[in-house]
């Protein structure tokens, strides 16, 4: 997440001081990514150093107010216009854990998958309830929060579907190698064709 660009975008709206920026940011993203106030001040210092914001001095109540510069506006415009860069590929602890688990003897991969599926489902239940509650008494400010929740719901659902696929592939692997060590059937929603690329002859 780019704190730098997020703060700049909020300053484009109007001049603000550090604490206001933090409150605005968390309000608009539903406190999904809590900001440390220290991070806010450090980032503002760097933005000022880089000429993207200017320090307007105090507001008389002890707050240092910042406003965006022309260079800062150009930076925000560039940020919005540029697709988010994907770290290549994004580090995914779950994928790494399963990749290691399938290559090590004596690890019960099916149990790992089920434990994760239960945990992910619990998260999905809670996101879904949050979404339902927020949508039921929707205020104007909740539009941004609903979008963030939708994003979390899609990501979690994708994770569960991927776990189903992993499980189906494990079953196929076990069947292809003639063992019955994984008697579980492939999950719904995952066809043999989708699961096929990991069978023995396709792995070369």
Partner 1 sequence: MSVQGPQQVLELAKVSRTFGQGTTAVAALRDVDLTVNAGEFVAVMGPSGSGKSSLLALAGGLDRPTSGSVFVESTPLAGLGLNALARLRRRAVGYVFQDFNLVPTLSAAENVALPLELDGVPARKAHRQAVDALRQVGIPEQAQRFMDEMSGGQQQRVAIARAIVGSRRLILADEPTGALDSTTGHGVMEVLRSRADAGAAVMLVTHEARHAAWADRVVFIRDGRIVDEATAMHNPAVLLAPAG
Q: Which residues bind partner 1 (CB under 8 A)?
A: 30-34, 114-115, 117-130, 132, 152-153, 156-157, 160-161, 183-189
- Pick the closer one to partner 1 by CB: 4 or 117: 117
C-beta separation of 156 from 123 below 8 A: yes
Helix or strand (DSSP H, E) at 127: helix 109-136
Q: Compute the chain's Rg from CA coordinates.
A: 24
Tokens of 66: 């910042």
- Pick the closer one to partner 1 by CB: 96 or 115: 115
Alpha-carbon distance 33 to 38, whole Å? 15
Helix or strand (DSSP H, E) at 169: helix 142-176
Q: How far is the CB of 125 from partner 1 (least distance, A)?
A: 4
Q: How far is the CB of 138 from partner 1 (least distance, A)?
A: 15
- Pick the closer one to partner 1 by CB: 63 or 117: 117
- Pick the closer one to partner 1 by CB: 46 or 129: 129
- Pick the closer one to partner 1 by CB: 82 or 188: 188
Q: How far is the CB of 74 from partner 1 (least distance, A)?
A: 31
- Pick the closer one to partner 1 by CB: 19 or 33: 33
Q: How far is the CB of 173 from partner 1 (least distance, A)?
A: 16
Alpha-carbon distance 179 to 71, whole Å? 64
Q: How far is the CB of 196 from partner 1 (least distance, A)?
A: 17
Q: How many helices (H) and strands (E) would you count in the chain?
A: 8, 3
Q: How far is the CB of 167 from partner 1 (least distance, A)?
A: 8
Tokens of 49: 């150093």
Three state DSSP letters for 170-186: HHHHHHHCCCCCCCCCC
Which of 31, 26, 27, 24 is CA-nearest to residue 139?
27
């Amino acid at each position: 997440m780019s704190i730098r660009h997020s703060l700049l975008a909020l300053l484009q709206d109007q001049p603000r001081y550090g604490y206001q920026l933090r409150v605005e940011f968390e309000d608009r993203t539903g406190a999904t990514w809590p900001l440390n106030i220290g991070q806010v001040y450090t980032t503002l210092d760097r933005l000022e150093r880089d000429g993207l914001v200017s320090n307007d001095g105090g507001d008389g109540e002890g707050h240092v107010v910042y406003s965006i510069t022309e260079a800062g506006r150009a930076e925000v415009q560039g940020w919005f216009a540029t697709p988010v860069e994907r770290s290549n590929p994004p580090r995914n602890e779950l994928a790494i854990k399963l990749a290691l688990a399938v290559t090590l003897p004596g690890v019960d991969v099916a149990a790992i998958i089920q434990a994760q599926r239960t945990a992910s489902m619990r998260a999905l239940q809670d996101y879904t309830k949050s979404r339902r509650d927020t949508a039921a008494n929707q205020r104007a400010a909740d539009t941004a929060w609903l979008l963030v929740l939708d994003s979390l719901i899609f990501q979690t659902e994708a994770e569960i579907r991927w776990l189903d696929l992993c499980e189906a592939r494990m079953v196929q692997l076990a069947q292809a190698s003639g063992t019955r060590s994984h008697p579980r059937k492939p999950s719904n929603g995952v066809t043999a064709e989708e699961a096929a690329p990991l069978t023995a002859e396709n792995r070369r």
